[in-house]
Amino acid sequence: MRKTNFTIMEWEQSFEGYTSGETWNGWACPYFTKEAGIKLCEYTRSGRYDEVADWFVFAIEGQEDVVTDQVLLDIRNHPDVDLIEDYEVYKPEEINVNGESLKVYGIGYGWWIWDEVEQLTLTEQLLDTMKQLMIEDDAAAPDQIAQAVIDMIEKRDHPALRNSDQIYDAVHELASLLVADVGKYA
């Protein structure tokens, strides 16, 4: 198993999970930690974590805010079922990651159209974003490019950029180099 990020095409956010590389109809089959699963519930608003049963329940059609306390109670009365009426149930599993056992949940495994997110280094992300900004605005100054890149990546919750003056300075320096030598990177 390896750690990577997953998303669904129309989503603007990705979620950290694990994969063995297995696919279903060409789509990724991820596993998520409880913490990542809770973030998925918050993002989709169509699922909830059941503390009592230690599983996740999602509405099949993605309806928001429909997994009520009563739904959780009803599903607990059928613990051997993974699919009940309009809900999917994702129970915990143990996987091995680098010799360590990890409890995960196969949220959407074999049901949802997950894509594995291409893993770019921070530098590659910054350069790609800067190139795009320069293409869109020929006269962009390095400080404008640097701030736009940081704003964009912070919206994607990139932890390396959160409130960091050093990162801003590095981005500003990269932007200056790009502006000075557009032909080399564009």
The string of pLDDT tens digits covering residues 79-132 is: 777 667 788 999 999 999 989 999 999 999 999 999 988 655 555 666 666 677
Domain boundary among 100, 116, 132: 116
Q: Does position 169 have pLDDT exceeding 70, yes or no?
A: no
Q: Are 22 and 93 members of one domain? A: yes
Both 70 and 148 in one domain: the answer is no
- Select, from the ranges 33-42, 52-61, 161-170, the one with the highest average predicted confidence (pLDDT): 33-42
Number of domains composing the chain? 2
The C-alpha atoms of residue 15 and residue 183 are separated, in whole angstroms, by 35
Whether pLDDT at 56 is above 70 = yes
% of the chain at pLDDT higher than 70 = 63
Helix ranges (DSSP H) in 17-164: 34-44, 69-76, 122-136, 142-155
Question: Using only C-alpha atoms, what is the Rg of the chain?
Answer: 21
Confidence at 163, pLDDT banded by 50, 70, 90: very low
What pLDDT is attached to residue 62? 67
pLDDT at 33: 98
**Residue 12, both tokens:** 């603007």
Q: Is the Cβ–Cβ distance between 122 and 160 less than 8 Å?
A: yes
First to last CA, the chain: 37
On whether both 87 and 163 belong to a single domain, the answer is: no
Predicted pLDDT at 74: 87
Q: Of the candidates 111, 171, 125, which has an alpha carbon nearest to the alpha carbon of residue 147?
A: 171
- What range does the domain containing 101 cover? 2-116
